[in-house]
Amino acid sequence: MTARTETAAVPAYSPRQKTGFVLGVIVALSNIPLAFIPTNGTDAGEQPGPPVSVLVVTLVLCLAICGLLLWSYRSGRRGPVRAAAVLLVVTALLAMPAFFVDGIAAWIRLLAGVYVLATIASIVLLFSPAPRPAVLAPTR
């Protein structure tokens, strides 16, 4: 009795693309603990926070981003990468009000800025072209 093992052909990703996958998952996973931060308080002294609906939507989107990136990495399909990039842009847009709302702490603005920059870097790296081997032209 022989056991038959099948190994799926792992697509050849460039180091940039692999870095984009890792950074995209890290960016998405970094939002999951933020879903449990306190929201708008009723006390006058509390700083404003995001509405609960935004936190829930961000949590769901980030879980979807992680799933899409892992699926794409394992299968080699580019469609899930495109969908994950769209969701990354949406979650980055959800962080943008931190720059415009009065009363937001400076460290929250700093984290939102780092998050937006990491999202942009992840998308650029995910869509960077794979290196192509140089083809020498025949000489005469």
Give the separation between CA 94 and CA 21, rounded to whole angstroms.
21
> Which amino acid type is present at position 6?
E
φ/ψ of 136, rounded to 5, equals -85, 135
Give the separation between CA 34 and CA 19, rounded to whole angstroms.
23
Mean pLDDT of the chain: 83
pLDDT number for residue 43: 56
pLDDT tens string 42-97: 555 566 677 778 888 889 999 999 999 999 999 888 899 999 999 999 999 988 88
- Enumerate the domain spans of the chain: 15-34+50-126
pLDDT number for residue 118: 95
Mean pLDDT of the 4-24 span: 79
Residue 100 DSSP class: T
SS3 state of residue 64: helix
pLDDT number for residue 81: 93
Give the separation between CA 35 and CA 85, rounded to whole angstroms.
20
The structure tokens listed for 89 are 């842009």
Say yes or no to pLDDT of 41 above 60: no
Count CB atoms within 10 A of the CB of residue 66.
Answer: 19
Question: pTM for the whole thing?
Answer: 0.79
